[in-house]
Amino acid sequence: MEVKPDIIFHQTDITLPVTLLQQFIRRVIREEKIPVVELRIIFVDDEHLRRLHRDFLDDDTYTDVMTFNLGSEQAIEGEIYISVDRARVHAREFRVPLEEELVRLIIHGLLHLKGYDDQTPPERARMRTRENEHLKKMLKLFPD
């Protein structure tokens, strides 16, 4: 049975096509063979994610995405927190639509659940390549 990701908009003013996003997320999960049994994507503001970053990683700085596996490696119960504020900053910086940046962050979080890391330049490059491959597929689904 496929997981139905929960999409939660907490402390944000954005809306996204939830059903389409859920379909895409399930597709990434299938293609990456991520053993997800439960998944929540939670869109928050900068301060919310900064508190999580401080409380869980002892780093009192802003970040764009944090991923948690509350289950096991064989049965992932994932939570992906995304800062809409950081996504807006990055979207302007990289001159892409906000929706595209938010999708990239979702993909990034899913890849972390898969076990990808981005601590070293080679790891970041490998992760970015996979992000770009998935992002291209998602952008074809979004109407212009």
Tokens of 14: 């954005």
Condensed to tens digits (0 to 9), the pLDDT of residues 58-72 reads 999 999 999 999 999
Burial 119-138 (b: 16+ CB within 10 A, else e): eeeeeeeebeebbeebbeeb
**Residues of the domain holding 21:** 6-141
Number of domains making up the chain: 1
Three state DSSP letters for 65-117? EEEEECCCCCCEEEEEEEEHHHHHHHHHHHCCCHHHHHHHHHHHHHHHHHCCC
Condensed to tens digits (0 to 9), the pLDDT of residues 118-141 reads 999 999 999 999 999 999 887 776
CB 35 within 8 A of CB 1: no
| CATH number for position 67 | 3.40.390.30
Cα–Cα dist 84/98, whole Å: 9
The pTM of this model reads: 0.93
Condensed to tens digits (0 to 9), the pLDDT of residues 103-119 reads 999 999 999 999 999 99
Q: Which amino acid makes up residue 117? A: D
**Would you say residue 1 lies in a domain?**
no
